[in-house]
Structure 1
Amino acid sequence: MSNINKLVGDNIRNYIKARGKQHTWVIERTGMNKKTFYNLLNGQGDVAKQSEIIAKLFRKDPLHFYQKDMELPFSDEQINQKFNFVNSVAASYHDNGDRNEFLETIEVLDDFIDMIDVLKSATKN
């Protein structure tokens, strides 16, 4: 097994986990059999062909999983938390305010929080 195949398998495993998906969910949607799927996660078999199928499922570039320092996505739960936060704040906002200004303020706040997270992780390294 080559190191690149192992890297691709690990990246796919980590990507699926980060997205909060079950292996069975991926297997059902790709039409792969279990053995082929688990071989892929272990960097075995026709990694190039199978990784393209996974990339298509998640609407990614076929070479996405070949990156050495691949950035992991937000999970569906994290995306929903962000959406729920904006909705809960919006529900408490009074109708007499400027809606566009409010939405822009929320966007700036969200970007600021993201920057703090990046800085926090950068200072740990």
Structure 2
Amino acid sequence: MLPIIDTYTEIIFNTLKLGVITVCICGIIEISLAFYMTFHCVRLKKLIHLILLTPMMVPGIIIVIAFVQLYGETGIITSIICYLFKLEGAPYTFRGLGGIVFVHAFTQYIHFYL
């Protein structure tokens, strides 16, 4: 019985940790974007605003699939980086906590922006 309780405790702790990290990262990204859009951006302000709002129009699962196809080990962006720098393998891995935080940060920032 004890290992099951430890597993559930670890799951709850990891979920809370992910939530706190996601909120902090999204806050940093979006506060920076909001200051830029408010005080510095003059040209193409409406276009940039629309681009920043696109995550609200596209379902989350589609965005996640797009991120995997762009930034995964065989993704388009990763392949371009490998080609430009003549690397034999992917320079980063898109999995684990870092991958989840990356996807959360660039799909959930919109809630701070709104």
TM surpasses 0.5? no
Larger % of helix: which?
2
Higher gyration radius (CA): 1
Q: Sort the TM-score into its range (normalised by shorter chain).
A: 0.3 to 0.5
User: When the two structures are superposed, what TM-score results if normalisation uses the length of structure 1?
Assistant: 0.36
| More RCO (CA 8 Å, sep 6+) | 2
